[in-house]
Homo-oligomer: A and B are copies of this chain.
Amino acid sequence: MRYIGELRDGEMVSETYLCKTKQTLKTKAGKNYYSMLLQDKSGTLDAKIWELSSGIDHFEAMEYIRVDGQVVSFQGSLQLNVKRVRRSQEGEYDPADFVPTTAKNVEQMYSDLLKYIAKFQQPHLKRLAESFFADDKDFALRFKKHSAAKSVHHGFVGGLLEHTLGVVNLCDYYANNYPILNRDLLLCAAMFHDVGKMEELSTFPENDYTDDGQLLGHIYIGAEIIGARIRTIQGFPPQLAAQLKHCILAHHGELEYGSPKKPAIIEALALNFADNTDAKIQTMTELLNSGDEKATWLGLSRLFESNIRRTTF
């Protein structure tokens, strides 16, 4: 397959892509044309169909389409001038090619998570974690495929798992080095801290905010999911439940970042650092990987409020 990330100015292309969006617009001369956003796992590409004539079959957004056309450079970005288009047929393409996916081994990462759970000593936390990750096969399937974001960081299949494991790993390191931390509470909170994203974001290839996601947010949703499951576990200590849910609620660290409570216990504080560290290092990594390879300075990043520089010497 010819991936979007490998296309070069001037090339002729004949390939299937996912049509993420489709608009009908008008040229200055008043002629209709289509403007589309094509996607595969390597990225996205603007595409235009200037001549709505023969060879342009009917298709809709979120369908897989086979396009013939030429890559051109427009205002510094590549664009595809499409000459022919039709819906692709099932079998003609592999859906896995059209969504960005973690570069890491999903099963290995999931297995790492399970190993952490196996070592939990607090029985109720172990029961809770197992009830999701070990016993709930549907949850496991969905957890492995979910992304951790619409864009920004870990916005790909397996992203939620990769980010969750990254945070759990950091928390494990903290627990080894700062003995005041309660390992089981901290690691359990880390495993579930972003579980609300499974309802906040729809699955790929859409990967967009859901209605519930926008109205309630993953912080509330996650705490509610855990709270509901806890009520099914006999003898779960109420104080432990409150502190676990507190860790989830407080994991953004500041009210203005959407946490309704600031960290009050040290595990909530540690989780906030682990989440922030993994998320921001990954965000800057993605930013550095996506920037012009030859540039030292990549321009102002609003998120980091700084002109970002590659480390070179």
Contact = CB atoms under 8 A, between A and B. Distances in A.
Contact of A309 (B75, B181, B214, B259): B214
A151 interface: no
A270 B262 CA distance: 23
A185 B76 CA distance: 34
A180 interface: yes
A30 interface: yes
Contacts of A312: 239
Contact of A30 (B81, B255, B266): B81
B262 A306 contact: yes
A262 B65 CA distance: 39
A240 interface: yes
Interface string A223-263: 11001100000000111101101100100000111111111
Interface in A187-219: 211-212, 214-217, 219
Interface stretch (A13-21, A113-121, A166-174): A166-174
Interface stretch (A39-47, A83-91, A131-139, A278-286): A278-286
Contact of A215 (B30, B181, B237, B242): B242
A313 B264 contact: no
Contacts of A284: 266, 269
Interface in A256-313: 256-267, 269-270, 273, 276-277, 280-282, 284-285, 288, 296-297, 304-313
Leading 5 A-B pairs by shortest Cβ distance: A240-B313, A215-B246, A262-B306, A273-B277, A239-B313
